[in-house]
């Protein structure tokens, strides 16, 4: 199989002299360039120039052009969609069925309607992205993205790279994207299609994959870009943070985990099978690699089905879903981790400690029921823990210690306890509470890890033409002159 070119350089960039090929599990491979210093330099200055030009493009025409690419990815008759589906599964290590789901789920948030709604929600009047706008009193405000932003994607959640690219383009920033190893296909195809939509965009996006860090390009990009957006594990983020100048805005999305809470109200007449199907979906999507993916499900006692029995119901739902949405080609270490975890759970089960392991061969869907309430990090690849809890209100206390890595809490069946529970989870540090079905697909305007998705990307500029004597503070201060 020909390696997939995990890069797209702007037109006019010199052809890189050296390429490397990286073999992926399952027979696919990706090719990436090794850029010498002078080419890194010209790439970055080219992007900066393109970013300046992009700054003069009206924001609505950007969302229109980006949206057209999304429409193509959603159109069953479009060859771009066919190519994306063909490349996504082998490069991301996901099944073709999962690739279909991921593309549909991601691209519908990249359409013009969704992007315009995002802009409206975040900026009020989007005109602030095009020119100074009067706000209040004599104040004018303007929001500007940097001429260039450097984006470092993570691992194998396909779509993260394109989402990051789009956020930056919407605030008129040229983009250098280093996608995660399993997320190379969509950014390359997306950037290529953008070129066909709008001349201004063709020079404003570069996608280059390289493994590890500390290459010439990475070092130079960290020095040059006023904004760096990074997704990844804590070690990767720590390393980037150490190498980023203090004057650079660094927006980081570090390691995150999710949990689920199933209250007795959801464990009624259907024996919890409805919530089990939704939870199975939340766990299985992206083969559990999302920052949103749940690791542990706390299940309340006292419903019509007890937590251990519900674990079996959940496993049935996960096993069924594995037929519909098969697991991808796992890396050896991921598969190995699942075998170790399953084996240990079965040994615990055999020792009579109250553990139950639900799984079957072949298949990766695994539910481990454990009576101890402590949070456990899953080895992923569709391995989830179910733990009984006498009352959902006890969960926030149990999660003490993981709160800095906790992001999404799926919550169902809490009835009228929901407001108090939400408050307690918010106090703990959780940034998203949602039903299981919504877990994989936060809307574009979600507060990703607790902040506006544009918060680090744009600078707000306040311009005051006349002193605002109306304010009490001002008049007090000026009287003293």
Partner 1 sequence: MTDDFEGLARDLKVAFARGTGEPWTEEVFDAWATRIFSYQFESNAVYGAYSSKRGGTPSTVRHWHEVPPVPAAAFKALPLISGDPELVQRVFRTSGTTRGREGRGQHHVLDLDLYRASLLPNMRRHLYGGGASLPLFALVPDPLVASDSSLSFMLGEALATLSDGKGAFFVDEGGQMEREGLRQGLRETTSKEQPVVVAGTAASLVHWLDWMTEVGERFELPPGSRIMDTGGLKGRSRTLSRPDLYRQLSAAHGVPLENIVNEYGMTELLSQYYEVSAPESAGTDLEDRRHVAPPWLRVRVLDPITLEDVPAGQPGLLCHYDLANAGSVMAVLTEDLGFEDAAGLRVLGRVAGAEPRGCSLAMDALLSKGESR
Instruction: Give the binding site for partner 1 (CB under 8 A).
Output: 22, 154-157, 160, 180-182, 211-212, 231-236, 253, 255-258, 286, 288-293, 295, 329-337, 339-344, 346-351, 361-362, 374-380, 401-402, 404-405
CB of 111 to partner 1, least distance (A): 24
CB of 154 to partner 1, least distance (A): 4
Distances (CA, A) of 355 to 336, 347, 350, 371: 21, 9, 8, 7
Kindly state the helix (H) or strand (E) to which residue 192 belongs, with its residue range.
helix 185-197
Return the number of the residue (206 or 341) whose C-beta is nearest partner 1: 341
Return the number of the residue (158 or 303) whose C-beta is nearest partner 1: 158
CB of 400 to partner 1, least distance (A): 9
CB of 352 to partner 1, least distance (A): 8
CB of 402 to partner 1, least distance (A): 7
Q: Are 4 and 186 in contact (CB under 8 A)?
A: no
Neighbours of 89 (CB within 10 A): 22
Provide the pairing of β-strand 383-389 with 294-300: parallel
CB of 278 to partner 1, least distance (A): 19
Return the number of the residue (46 or 180) whose C-beta is nearest partner 1: 180
Which two structure tokens, joined as six digits, stand for 122?
Answer: 């975040």
Which two structure tokens, joined as six digits, stand for 374?
Answer: 């402590």
Distance CA 377, CA 258 (A): 10
Return the number of the residue (147 or 236) whose C-beta is nearest partner 1: 236
CB of 371 to partner 1, least distance (A): 14
Return the number of the residue (87 or 257) whose C-beta is nearest partner 1: 257
**For residue 59, how many C-alpha atoms fall within 13 Å in the half-sphere facing its CB?**
25
Return the number of the residue (113 or 234) whose C-beta is nearest partner 1: 234
CB of 209 to partner 1, least distance (A): 11
Return the number of the residue (67 or 182) whose C-beta is nearest partner 1: 182
3-state secondary structure 399-412: CCCCHHHEEEEEEE
Q: Are 289 and 154 in contact (CB under 8 A)?
A: no
Helix (H, G, I), strand (E, B) or coil at 437: helix
Distance CA 9, CA 176 (A): 9
Return the number of the residue (190 or 358) whose C-beta is nearest partner 1: 358
Which two structure tokens, joined as six digits, stand for 375?
Answer: 């949070």
Which two structure tokens, joined as six digits, stand for 332?
Answer: 């050896």
Distinct helix (H) and strand (E) counts, the chain: 16, 19
Q: Are 464 and 177 in contact (CB under 8 A)?
A: no
């Amino acid at each position: 199989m020909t390696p997939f070119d995990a890069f797209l350089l702007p037109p006019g960039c010199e052809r890189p002299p050296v390429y490397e090929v990286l073999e992926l599990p399952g027979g696919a491979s990706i090719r990436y360039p090794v850029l010498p210093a002078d080419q890194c330099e010209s790439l970055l200055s080219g992007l900066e120039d393109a970013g300046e030009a992009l700054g003069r493009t009206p924001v609505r025409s950007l969302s229109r052009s980006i949206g057209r690419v999304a429409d193509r990815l959603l159109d069953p008759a479009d060859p771009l969609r066919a190519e994306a589906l063909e490349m996504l599964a082998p490069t991301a290590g996901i099944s073709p069925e999962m690739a279909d789901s991921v593309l549909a789920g991601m691209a519908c948030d990249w359409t013009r309607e969704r992007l315009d709604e995002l802009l409206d929600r975040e900026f009020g009047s989007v005109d602030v992205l095009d020119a100074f706008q009067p706000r209040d009193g004599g104040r004018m405000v303007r929001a500007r993205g940097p001429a260039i932003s450097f984006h470092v994607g993570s691992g194998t959640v396909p779509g993260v790279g394109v989402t990051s690219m789009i956020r930056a383009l919407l605030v008129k920033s040229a983009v250098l994207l280093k996608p995660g190893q399993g997320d190379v296909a969509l950014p390359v195809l997306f950037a290529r299609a953008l070129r066909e939509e709008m001349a201004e965009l063709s020079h404003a996006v570069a996608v280059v994959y390289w493994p590890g860090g500390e290459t010439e390009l990475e070092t130079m990009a960290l020095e040059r870009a006023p904004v760096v957006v990074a997704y990844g594990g804590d070690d990767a983020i720590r390393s980037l943070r150490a190498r980023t100048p203090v004057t650079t805005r660094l927006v980081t999305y570090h390691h995150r985990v999710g949990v689920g809470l199933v209250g007795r109200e959801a464990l009624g007449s259907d024996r919890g099978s409805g919530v089990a199907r939704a939870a199975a979906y939340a766990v299985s999507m992206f083969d559990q690699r999302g920052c949103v993916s749940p690791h542990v499900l706390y299940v309340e006692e006292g419903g019509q089905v007890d937590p251990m029995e519900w674990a079996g119901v959940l496993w049935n739902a996960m096993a069924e879903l594995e037929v519909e949405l098969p697991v991808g080609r796992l890396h050896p270490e991921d598969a190995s981790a699942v075998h170790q975890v399953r084996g240990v759970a079965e040994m615990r089960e055999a020792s009579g400690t109250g553990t139950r392991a639900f799984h079957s061969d072949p298949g990766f869907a695994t539910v481990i029921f454990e009576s101890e309430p402590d949070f456990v990090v899953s080895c992923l690849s569709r391995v989830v823990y179910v733990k009984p809890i006498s009352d959902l209100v006890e969960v926030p206390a149990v999660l003490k210690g993981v709160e800095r890595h906790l992001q999404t809490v799926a919550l169902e069946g809490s009835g009228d306890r929901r407001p108090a529970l939400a408050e307690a989870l918010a106090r703990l540090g959780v940034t998203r509470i949602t039903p299981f079905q919504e877990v994989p697909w936060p809307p574009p305007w979600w507060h990703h890890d607790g902040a506006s998705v544009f918060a680090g990307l744009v600078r707000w500029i306040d311009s005051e033409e006349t002193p605002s004597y109306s304010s009490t503070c001002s008049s007090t201060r000026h009287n003293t002159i």
